[in-house]
Structure 1
C-alpha cells in the first residue's frame, strides 16, 4: 500500500510542486487550499503525513492543527512556515506538530522530513495486540510511570498531560534511564535522523518537561550534564 500525503497549502505554485515531486516518489497525494478544507480532509482520511501551511484562508494552520489534534494525536504533521525564529518553531511543535520546514525549502529536505516522520511512526506502532503488553510494558523510574499502550503518564497519583513531542522525549529519556544522552542522540531519536534545525529546541522541551514532571515535586528526576546533554535518574548528581 502506498504512503498517503495530504498537502494543505494555498499557494498554488508550491502545492503543485509538492504534489508533482511526491507523486514522482510514489506517494498518493491529495491537496487542500483552505484551512477548513484541509481539516475536513485530514479528519476524513488516513494519512501517512500531513504537510500543513501556517498562513491559510478560512482557518489558520495553527487552528487546523489544534482542532485536528483533538481527534488525532498520531498522524505526523509537518508545518510549512515562512517564520524561522526559534520561538515560532517551538510554538508550532508544542501545538502538536512533529516537525517544521521553513520556506523557501529544497524538495530534498521535504522528502527527507517525510521519510523521517513515517519511520518514527512505524517505530512507535505496536506489532499486534496479542503480545502488546509484553512488547510495550510500563516504564517507570521512581514514582514516574509511562503506560505506552495508553500513552498515559503519571507521577504518584497525578496524571500528567504532555504534548506529542514532550511525550516522545520523555519516553526516550526513560527508555535510557540512568544514561547521559547527548543532544545529538536526542535529536536523532526524537526529531529524526534527517532533522535540520537548532539543537536548543531540545533545551526548550526539557524545560517544558521539567515544569510538568519535576518542578511540582520534591525529588527531581531530569538532570543536566553541562556541555553534554541530559539524563533521567533518581539519584542526585
Structure 2
C-alpha cells in the first residue's frame, strides 16, 4: 500500500512510522496542508490511502480534503482530528473523507481502520466512455426502477446513471439495495459497510446517507427511506415513472 500521511505533529508521525514499516507500507509524510496537497497532486493516481489531520498549518485539513476530492473521487481518506464535536466530524465526512479517527488514538486502531477501508476500496471504479445499452445480466441488483453493477461500479435509476459515488457511498447503497425494503439499523450498517464497530458513533452513517441522497436526487426520485427510530431502507416502489 502507498500511503500519504499529512500530519503536523512529528511525534505522531514518528510513532506511526514504526507501525507502517511493520506492515511494509510505502509511506510519505507531509507536515503541513500545502505540502501534503502538493505531494498528492504530483501523482494523484498513485496513492492507495491518505490520512489527513484536521488542524494543519498553511492549509487546514478541510480545505485539503476538498481540493483532493476535486481531483479524485475515489482515493480513500481518513481524517485525524483532536476535535470530537459532532459538527467537525460530519463536516469532514461531507467534505469527502471516508472515515475519521479522533485523537488521541491507538496506533493499532488506526492500522485496523486503514486496512478495513482499503479492503472496501480495493475495487477500481470503471467509467465507460459512453453509455452502452443496459443488459440485465450485467447487474448484481435489479429492481423495477434500479440497477447496480459491482464490477463496473455503475448505478442506474430509471436507466439514468447515478454518478460521482465515493467507494463508501457505493458500498452503502449496495448494502441497502440488495435487500429492498429491509430496514437496517445504523449499527448494522457500520458493521456491514465499514467492516468494524464504531462504538456507538453513528453520525458517519447519517453524513454518508445525506451525500448519497443528494446524488440520487440529481437523477430522480429518492429511493433511500428513513425509518424513524430504527434506521434506513431501500425502497423504489414509490418511483413515479410518468
TM-score (norm 2): 0.77
Distance 1:150 1:24, change over 3 A: closer
Show the 5 A alignment for 1:62-211.
Answer: 62-122=62-122, 124-125=123-124, 137=139, 139-146=141-148, 151=153, 153-156=155-158, 160=162, 164=166, 165-196=168-199, 198-210=201-213
Per the TM alignment, residue 211 of structure 1 is displaced from its structure 2 partner at its CA by 5.3
Distance 1:201 1:8, change over 3 A: closer
Separation in 2, partners of 1:39, 1:56: 12
Distance 1:120 1:183, change over 3 A: same
Deviations 1:175-226 (A, max 9, x none): 2323332323211222222544512432444355445546996x65333445
Distance 1:10 1:40, change over 3 A: same
Work out whether 1:23 is the aligned partner of 2:21. Answer: yes
Gaps of at least 5 residues in structure 2 are 129-134
Q: How large is the Cα RMSD of the aligned pairs?
A: 3.3
Question: Deviating runs (4+, > 6 A) in structure 1?
Answer: 133-136, 214-217
Work out whether 1:233 is the aligned partner of 2:231. Answer: no
Aligned residues: 228
Distance 1:78 1:207, change over 3 A: closer
- Confirm or deny: 8 A CA contact 1:95 1:163 kept in the other structure: no
Gaps of at least 5 residues in structure 1 are none
Deviations 1:83-139 (A, max 9, x none): 1112211111121111101111111111111111111112x3479x9xxx9996274
- What's the counterpart of residue 131 of structure 2? none
Separation in 2, partners of 1:109, 1:87: 23
- Confirm or deny: 8 A CA contact 1:48 1:118 kept in the other structure: yes
Separation in 1, partners of 2:16, 2:136: 41
